[in-house]
Amino acid sequence: MKIIALHTPDDVLIKKALRHDGKAEQALFNRHAPKMLGVCRTYIKDLHYAEDVMIQGFTKVFENLDKFRHEGSFEGWIRRIMIREAVDFLRSRRQLYFSEIEEAETVAVQTESDYDIEVLQWLMDNLPNGYKTVMVLYTVEGYSHKEIADMLGITESTSKSQMFKARKMLQQQLATLSKKENGAL
């Protein structure tokens, strides 16, 4: 009895894609595009631009596929390319700006964890791009402030400041949202 493979591993598809096998490239794209669109969308507010950046990112993935060393996950390698493309897109459109460092002040707000993902995405989209980019790179992607500073061409203290300001602004937005839900506004 012959067993039919229902799922071709990435390694097999990568080898085929390196030989310019269009079906393998399409399979890799179909497998990873939904997550990578999510990555791009995290940085870029407009879905159409996020899709464009994702497509550009996949173009780079296939152009540089021979540089993938199989040392980490293929998905992680693609993710780093998508992040770079999103940051480059914001930089090219001059949408990535950073405010001056201000004196830190603490803001304590009770937050509820039961907000749905659309509300949280909307709140993130309302952050200035500099705040949002640093926050996502730090909290979601796990980059250090030094790595973020190197990637964005800013100082480490600016990265920390942007993170502080992003948290503060999100806390204020959540407090306002909570007051609206409770009828206080």
What is the DSSP code (8-state) at residue 94? T
Residue limits of CATH 1.10.10.10 in the chain: 117-181
Predicted pLDDT of residue 111: 43
CATH number assigned to the domain with residue range 10-92, chosen from the 4 options 3.40.50.300, 2.60.40.10, 1.10.1740.10, 1.20.1250.20: 1.10.1740.10
Percent of the chain with pLDDT over 90: 53
pLDDT tens-place string over residues 29-63: 999 999 999 999 999 989 999 999 999 999 999 99
Predicted pLDDT of residue 82: 96
pLDDT tens-place string over residues 142-167: 999 999 999 888 899 999 999 999 99
Rounded to two decimals, the pTM is: 0.72
Residue limits of CATH 1.10.1740.10 in the chain: 10-92
Spatial separation of the C-alpha atoms in residues 149 and 49, rounded to whole Å: 24
pLDDT band at 124 (very low <50, low <70, confident <90, very high): confident
CATH of domain 117-181: 1.10.10.10
Predicted pLDDT of residue 53: 96
User: How remote is the C-alpha of 59 from its chain's centroid?
Assistant: 18
CA neighbor of 128 nearest in space, from 34, 41, 59, 43:
43
**Pure H helices in the chain:** 10-18, 22-43, 47-63, 74-92, 117-125, 129-135, 145-152, 156-181
